[in-house]
Structure 1
Amino acid sequence: MTTSDEDPVWRIAVQVADCFSQGGYAFVEDDMIDSLAATLRTFLERAGISTSDDVTDLRE
């Protein structure tokens, strides 16, 4: 799994973690960002929500 600014889902996971902590709801440790990103990715796939990666895959 990519853990860099190149992966939009990983960047979103960082933002979600920040929202959780800013809201006083939960604190997601940095070493758990990959797991959060994987959960978000799985949610999108299972919900059938298209992403920009889907469009890129079709172009290749």
Structure 2
Amino acid sequence: MKYSEWEVAVTEAVATALQVNHADASGVVEAQPFYMQQSWVKGMDAQQTATKILAAAQVE
């Protein structure tokens, strides 16, 4: 899977979890570049990454 495909899958998982549209979910994902990069390097799947991003977003 290419990074861009994985990023879309992460965004879709965030959108589903928050019950928001793609644009709003994209904003949440883009606000967490560190977790996106770390998750990609570690080979985490989209759902694992979305869970990590949502947890980080609630803390901040």
TM-score range, shorter chain: 0.3 to 0.5
TM-score w.r.t. length of structure 1: 0.40
Higher relative contact order, structure no. (Cα contacts within 8 Å, ≥ 6 residues apart):
2
TM-score w.r.t. length of structure 2: 0.40
- Structure number with greater Rg is 1
